[in-house]
Structure 1
Amino acid sequence: MGIFYALPNLRVLNVSNNNLFEIKRTLFMAPGEIAPLELLDYSSNNVKVLDDSVFCRLKKLRTLNLWLNQINRIHPRAFLGLSSLQTLHLQGNKISILPDDVFANLTALEKLDLSKNNIQKLGLRVFGERILRKLIYLDLSNNYIADLHPLALSSMPFIKELRLRRNRLVSLDLRMFAPLRQLQLLTINENRLEEIDGEILDTLDRLNHLELNNNRLTFLPDLKSSQNLLQLRNITLEGNPWQCLCLDEITSWLNGRHVSYARPSSAYFSGRKPLCVVTPMDKCLRDLQETKAQGIVESYEKI
């Protein structure tokens, strides 16, 4: 029998900031019973493993806080039964592998935070094949993701905020963004991106906030020909080895659209760090292989 079985009306349980090292499925109710919990805070403990069906009796749970544990292994069916779960916090753990279909049954999920883990790869079936119609917020920032399957996010067409900051992405695939037609905020700053395909920008017609700073971008597609990004209001650019002619074109387009890009507090906009590289070309060079041959990134890094 679970230790909380004598509290049949318990809706909120906070056991955070202890030294708890495991979660058992029998912890909350007697076998066969359904727990009435709606919020469970198990954060800041020492849990390392999420076992098979460990939360299966928490069918009414809406919020599950598991941040700042030591979680390094998640069973593919760990979240089975959480049919009402809306918010799942897993940030600040040691997760390196996400099993196939691990989030597939969370059909009520609205917000998922996986930031500050050790995730290196996001496979095709992590979120399953079923459409997660409620999911609007996904945070994968501060990981080590270098391998992001082009269709990994295809089950979340209604997502509005996608955070991929501080990973190891070198390129982006059009197939990843094509289903994300509701996306309003995208952070892909502090990666290793060298190029962004113009067709990707054309799919983001509802985007109003875009963070591109601190990548390895030397140019963007010709924005003058773009029929989208009509909702864009904020963008971050600094910390990229832009060709100065390309940056001039970008900022001219942004100024014409009244898009905010300059951050006065930034070292780049206060003159302490370079914003771009002067090149011998008389136009913005939009060919990645040619920019590599010109050594533009290396020139920027020497400034």
Structure 2
Amino acid sequence: MSSHHHRTECRVVTAFFLGLLVGALATTRCPLTLNAGRYACRGRGLKEVPVPIGGPEKNHHAIDDLDISNNFIEILHPDSFKPYPRLRILRLERNRLWRITEEAFRSLPHLEQLYLRGNRLAIQPGGLNSRALTSLGGLRVLDLSENPIGYLPGQIFKPLVNLVELQLETMVRDVAFQRNCFEGLAALRRLSLAHNKFKTLPAFLAEEFRRLPSLKEVKLEGNSWNCDCHLSWISASMRWRAHGGLDDTSPEGNEPRCSQPEALANRPLFSLPHSEFQCAPVALNRETTQVHEAEVGATVTLVCNFHVQPRGYIRWYKDDQVIQRRTGWQRLQQQQQQESMTRVDRQLLLHQTNLTLFGVQPGRDDGLYVCETGNKRGKASVLFPLKVIYPDAEARVARLAANNALLLALILGGCLLMILAAAVVALLWYRKAKAAEGRARLLTTPSSSSTAAAAAAASDGLYTCETKVELAGDWSETITRLVEGEDQQGGQSGPLQKPPAEHGLLLTRLYVGWTCEEQNAVAAPFWQTDSGQKPTQQRQGDYPTGGNRTSSHAPYYVRTVKVHTNDGH
């Protein structure tokens, strides 16, 4: 009895493990049952693309239609489809796909139809991108419906040069279109954007569609369209139908319809006249209750800015009365400007209206001014409370005084600068003239003892002009020159003692009197009397350190020179 019970338990355990093994094999393999080249493996709980098993090897290569929908496949690897080199149709609907590697379709050069509806694909790095589509140049049908695509970047479909049909229906998230997102689809004939959450589409898609030479059918039903000015381009595009342009291929009674505005609710989109696609105006002026004050006799301009399409009517009111309908308004002038807001939206216009009042007067021009614009979708207005005031006498006097004070300060500042400049010029001229006069009067040479005598006779005492001489080779010497006045005894000028010529001493010129000047040397001269006392009266000479003069008398002048050379030669 116990032995029989033991055998029963063994059979149960064996059957359990066999079931697990079969289930595991079933996740990667599927029995081959060909039906005209079609291999179906739907709803088998597969996590990987199956490998065909059973049957002749030639049947494996004959598969051109693979249906592995309703499974749990998440990633398509580079070798996932190597067993199917002749595949033309691939159905991967309602799996858990979130990643398609860039080389996943590299082994499918003959693929014509690809159905990826109902997965988790988003167009992003690591998800689905244009590189994964580069090897699908022969693809004719692509279904990306029911995926969280998110947005369509420019040139995403450019490799699909032979694509005829593109389905983007029932998207999980709103789709953002970027410019040139349909670029390269020269063969595209049918585009479906049905059953999404679209309320409007960007106006640049009109130009995108015009650049698709084969496009004939666009499906837009099942969306909550807001039939305002932003969608007017669709109405214009559908008018191509009479000239071989776009066709609405929606089923009868299921054509796209307006959800907004309320006045157009449930109206067929493509049968709506173009004039019905309007946007309510929006005032751009900042809202304020501030009273605008203007002085008597001033000119006042009131400016209103609106976003509006189409323009509709424009009116100005004063105290609830239309200005244009009243008489006696010759003092007013209205101007209007209109500009397309191409950088924001080509369907939206910027409109500006101005009202100018000349020579405003209290009582006559005081009041509440209103500019208003409107169309079928609504209206907008801007308020301008205006008050004409008499100028404050004290304030005007203060402003006038302030203006005059500023002008006077500018004038005085300019005059002061001119005087200062003239003083500087005069000082420079005076110093230059005095230098020239002193040199012309006192300059002498070693041979003109008469000039020295005249200078000696004009001054009293014995003077010494000293300048230190420091030359190369540690040589230094004091040069003394005695200048004797030519008096009644007829004295002669003493000799000039100098160092040897090889030291290159640059001889100086003697300015007799009380100026000592050296040429080509850095000198520090000074004068002293024969008794070694400093003079009691001083007079500035031509040289910057100047010279001195006393009232004593002596027939001889001694000049001692000490020179610092510039370059040491």
TM-score for the superposition, normalised by structure 2? 0.37
- Distance in 1, Cα, partners of 2:174 & 2:239: 24
Could you tell me which residue of structure 2 aligns to residue 252 of structure 1?
236
Match of 2:81 among 98, 103, 126: 103
Query: Do the aligned partners of 2:166 and 2:192 also contact (CA within 8 Å) in 1?
Result: yes
Tell me, yes or no, if structure 1 residue 223 matches structure 2 residue 196: no
Could you tell me which residue of structure 1 aligns to residue 220 of structure 2?
237
Give the match's secondary structure for 1:248: helix
Q: How does 1:166-205 map to 2 (within 5 A)?
A: 166-191=146-171, 192-205=173-186
Change (3 A) 1:90 1:267: same
Query: Do the aligned partners of 1:69 and 1:93 also contact (CA within 8 Å) in 2?
Result: yes
Tell me, yes or no, if structure 1 residue 212 matches structure 2 residue 193: yes
Change (3 A) 1:47 1:202: same
Deviations 1:218-262 (A, max 9, x none): 314252476532222221224166673232212311321142155
Could you tell me which residue of structure 2 aligns to residue 265 of structure 1?
253
Q: How does 1:37-116 map to 2 (within 5 A)?
A: 48-51=26-29, 62-71=37-46, 73-74=47-48, 78=51, 82-116=60-94
Could you tell me which residue of structure 2 aligns to residue 37 of structure 1?
none
Identify which of structures 1 and 2 has the higher relative contact order when contacts are C-alpha pairs closer than 8 Å and 6+ apart: 1
Answer with 93-102 or 155-164: which moved more. Answer: 93-102
Query: Do the aligned partners of 2:88 and 2:113 also contact (CA within 8 Å) in 1?
Result: yes
Q: Write 1 or 2 for the structure with the bigger share of strand.
A: 2
- Distance in 1, Cα, partners of 2:278 & 2:147: 25
- Distance in 1, Cα, partners of 2:71 & 2:341: 43
Letter in 2 for 1:141: R
- Distance in 1, Cα, partners of 2:154 & 2:26: 36
Query: Do the aligned partners of 2:182 and 2:208 also contact (CA within 8 Å) in 1?
Result: no
Identity of aligned residues (%): 20
Give the match's secondary structure for 1:162: strand
- Distance in 1, Cα, partners of 2:246 & 2:203: 18
Change (3 A) 1:60 1:244: closer
- Distance in 2, Cα, partners of 1:121 & 1:155: 17
Provide structure 2 residue ranges, at least 5 long, that are not aligned to the other structure: 1-18, 259-264, 270-276, 282-306, 310-339, 346-569
Could you tell me which residue of structure 1 aligns to residue 131 of structure 2?
151
Give the match's secondary structure for 1:250: helix
- Distance in 2, Cα, partners of 1:60 & 1:262: 33
Provide structure 1 residue ranges, at least 5 long, that are not aligned to the other structure: 1-20, 25-44, 289-303
Give the match's secondary structure for 2:76: coil
- Distance in 1, Cα, partners of 2:217 & 2:209: 17
Answer with 165-174 or 218-227: which moved more. Answer: 218-227
Residue 59 of structure 1 and its aligned partner are, at CA, apart by 11
Give the match's secondary structure for 2:239: helix
Answer with 213-222 or 170-179: which moved more. Answer: 213-222
Give the match's secondary structure for 2:90: strand
State the Cα RMSD in Å.
4.0
Letter in 2 for 1:195: A
- Distance in 1, Cα, partners of 2:253 & 2:151: 29
Q: Write 1 or 2 for the structure with the bigger share of helix.
A: 2
- Distance in 2, Cα, partners of 1:196 & 1:104: 34
- Distance in 2, Cα, partners of 1:118 & 1:235: 29
